[in-house]
């Protein structure tokens, strides 16, 4: 069995005006979709973030992929010289093929299933009302509105872990948000992630103000391992990261400084799903917790994340996922859904999801139109704050 065809498609899917420390999400998020076909007609799918530049990097791997066996993964990784994101898309597509060839699910290829359902966290964002599309959420720019958003996520999908994307309101208002969430959900797990926008001093002050509400963890309150270690020394709240520990070579410093207690891995950035399983073993060795980071993604990544979450015994923290914010996907049939805050592992071989080529073509057309549809973030921000500048502030 050899790989005989390779198709790379860049797509753009609708995204609401979600806020973060950098500004506002664009009206579309971009993904690169990889389709590999073997000489006996089996098809495997991969997905990774990024736009035209990422698509070009994957295209550059074409001479090293065509004519090769999908089982030939380690030579492919070495040929790509550590390009983790490119390899992650190729690896998932190859494992999808292998699963279909052998009748095995991706989770079986990763060592077998250790849990029936994979828990996910609601991913809560401050946001503006979407003036361009139907928007059941409305504007969420106050602590009270954020509590209502969490209620909607809980009622619709059953999430009992809630993560707030912080770094948007003044820190004391985000403290008030978390206090109100704890009052509303006394038995749920709570997290906040300001994307390292706070200074060490502000991070310590916020952690002190939140010390009584039993946060599950505080994610990347400040920058780098040194800053995180300074915060960690002052609080009992676990610190997590997907910003200062993003490669295996970062782990020794983090362990030496005790800068983080939980790593949020991402199979796209860590070098694929098999590398992510290895990350679980590292975390177990050094007594670190493990969860999954998420950017905007479609069904291919959703299925891969769920397989990873079902295969790693010590992945005990609910995983992040933007997927509930999606209104369109490339999956054949209905979009993937959450029940009681969890995803069931797809039952079909490989990834267990089928791709609708018509939907893929539609989202590819969206990408071609994307530049004409771009939201003017600077104007939108200045409507609300005339002193806002398109640079990252530091609280």
Cα dist from 131 to 137, 162, 175, 194, 388, whole Å: 12, 26, 29, 26, 21
Q: What 3-state class would DSSP assign to 343?
A: strand
CB 181 within 8 A of CB 164: yes
Q: What 3-state class would DSSP assign to 240?
A: strand
Asked if 209 is an active-site residue, the reply is no
Cα-Cα-Cα-Cα torsion 79, 81, 86, 90, nearest 10 degrees, comes to: 30
CB 174 within 8 A of CB 210: no
CB 312 within 8 A of CB 277: yes
CB 23 within 8 A of CB 165: no
Asked if 293 is an active-site residue, the reply is yes
Cα dist from 324 to 47, 72, 148, 372, whole Å: 18, 35, 16, 26
Q: Which of 100, 293, 297, 322 is flagged as catalytic?
A: 293
Q: Which of 35, 165, 188, 268 is flagged as catalytic?
A: 165
Residues identified as active-site: 165, 293
């Amino acid at each position: 069995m050899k790989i005989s065809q390779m198709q790379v498609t860049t797509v753009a899917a609708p995204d609401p005006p979600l806020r973060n420390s950098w500004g506002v999400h664009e009206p579309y998020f971009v993904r690169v979709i990889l389709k590999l076909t073997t000489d006996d007609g089996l098809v495997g799918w991969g997905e990774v973030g990024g736009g035209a530049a990422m698509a070009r990097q994957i295209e550059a791997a074409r001479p090293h992929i065509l004519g090769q066996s999908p089982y030939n993964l380690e030579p492919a990784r070495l040929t790509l010289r550590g390009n983790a994101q490119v390899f992650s898309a190729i690896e998932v597509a190859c494992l999808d093929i292998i699963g279909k060839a052998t009748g095995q699910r991706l989770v079986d290829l990763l060592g077998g299933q250790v849990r029936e359902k994979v828990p996910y966290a609601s991913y809560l964002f401050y946001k503006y009302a979407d003036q361009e599309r139907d928007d059941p959420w409305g504007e969420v720019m106050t602590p009270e509105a954020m509590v209502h958003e969490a209620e909607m996520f809980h009622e619709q999908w059953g999430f009992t872990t809630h993560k707030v994307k912080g770094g948007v309101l003044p820190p004391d208002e985000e403290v008030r948000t978390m206090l109100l969430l704890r009052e509303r959900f006394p038995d749920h797990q709570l997290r906040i992630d300001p994307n390292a926008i706070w200074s060490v001093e502000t991070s310590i002050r916020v952690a002190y103000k939140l010390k009584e509400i039993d946060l599950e963890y505080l994610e990347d309150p400040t920058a780098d391992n040194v800053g995180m270690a300074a915060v960690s020394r002052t609080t009992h709240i676990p610190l997590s990261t997907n910003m200062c520990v993003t490669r295996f070579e970062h782990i020794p410093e983090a362990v030496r400084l005790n800068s983080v207690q939980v790593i949020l891995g991402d199979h796209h950035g860590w070098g694929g799903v098999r590398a992510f399983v290895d990350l679980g073993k590292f975390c177990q060795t050094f007594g670190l917790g493990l969860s999954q980071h998420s950017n905007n993604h479609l069904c291919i990544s959703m299925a891969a994340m769920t397989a990873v979450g079902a295969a790693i015994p010590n992945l005990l923290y609910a995983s992040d996922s933007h997927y509930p914010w999606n209104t369109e996907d490339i999956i054949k049939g209905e979009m993937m859904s959450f029940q009681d805050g969890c995803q069931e592992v797809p039952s079909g071989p490989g990834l267990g999801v089928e791709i609708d080529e018509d939907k893929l073509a539609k989202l590819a057309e969206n990408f071609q139109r994307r530049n004409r549809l771009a939201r003017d973030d600077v104007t939108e921000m200045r409507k609300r704050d005339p002193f806002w500048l398109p640079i990252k502030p530091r609280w």
